Amino acid sequence: MIWDLAAYLVVLIIISTVIWLYDVFYLEPKRKAALTRLSENASNTDYQHVGQIPFFVDLARSLLPVFIIVLVLRSFLVEPFRIPSGSMMPTLLVGDFILVNKYTYGIRLPVLNWKVLDINQPQRGDIIVFRYPENPATPYIKRLVGIPGDKIEYHHVNKMLYVNGEPILQVPLGAYIGIGSSADMTQQKAEELTEHLFNKKHSILIVPEKRSPIPQTISSWTIGEKQYFVLGDNRDNSLDSRFWGIVPEENLIGKAFFIWMSWDSKLPNCQLLSPTSCINWGRIGTNLDS
């Protein structure tokens, strides 16, 4: 079991439910019995004091539905994430806040992560959020490029991707110009390209002068059943399947589909005392599923 927010919500739901049941079957009957023992001459203050619901019971009863609603939303519908690094530039920038569809790849029980209903299968080109295989408590976000049965090759010299022996077309768009936290890629002299991953197109960044830390010229992988191969769109600045291998199906969290906020403290006009000046307004409302 992984101790994330869902696990803490389940614990809070259990505690709140136990407190509520304790009140229903023990404390509430005692309050009613005490009220019936009061004489007709008792003051309203006496009635209010004897019939008062304990604070911890009232708090538990009030918060229980909130905990349940939040757990259902985050576990079965959508979950928000914040992008902490530039590994998915130019598609996702540092400071982007995204929404992840939790049900598109199937319904899973919270905490236990057992799939109870299959819905759709991940497709090449999807931006997926998953539990990092080497530390499942850490969520990662990358682009899915290899599905079960695929043979993947990556050529480290010309930085080309091959899927089942077919080279994936890359169309140069020119030098990448970034601002704020993205300016680092401009300094690295990154080039932006459109990659045609079969029926899906997306932008990637390549730094032509940057050499791969992997010694071999070509790396290849055969993707097994219930396994997936992922790459960052920022190809020369991404820790992905080229380094730590495949993503097991049970590690999938969901599919990123929407940017609902983008906040970058390194934007030229950003002033921390004026938070709205740090918002990258042009990115809000970006559909990642197009």
The answer to whether the CB of 280 falls within 8 A of the CB of 180 is yes
The residue from 142, 159, 181, 182 that is catalytic is 142
What DSSP string runs through the chain?
---SHHHHHHHHHHHHHHHHHHIIIIIHHHHHHHHHHS-TT--HHHHHHHTPPPHHHHHHHHHHHHHHHHHHIIIIIEEEEE--SSTTTTTS-TTEEEEEESSTT-EE-TTT--EEE------TT-EEEEE-TT-TTSEEEEEEEE-TT-EEEEETTTTEEEETTEEPEEEEEEE----GGGHHHHHTT-EEEEEEETTEEEEEEE-TTPPPSS-SSEEEEE--TTEEEEE-SBGGG--SHHHH--EEGGGEEEEEEEEEEEB-TTSTT-BTTBGGGGB-GGGTT-BTT-
Q: What is the C-alpha separation between 94 and 154, in angstroms, rounded?
A: 26
212 has catalytic annotation: no
Phi, psi of 190 (to 5 degrees): -75, 150
Give all strands of the β-sheet with 166-167 in edge-to-edge order.
Answer: 166-167, 160-163, 151-155, 218-222
Rounded distance, CA 221 to CA 146, Å? 9
- Catalytic-residue membership of 30: no
Catalytically annotated residue among 16, 87, 238, 241: 87
Please give the positions annotated as active site. Answer: 87, 142
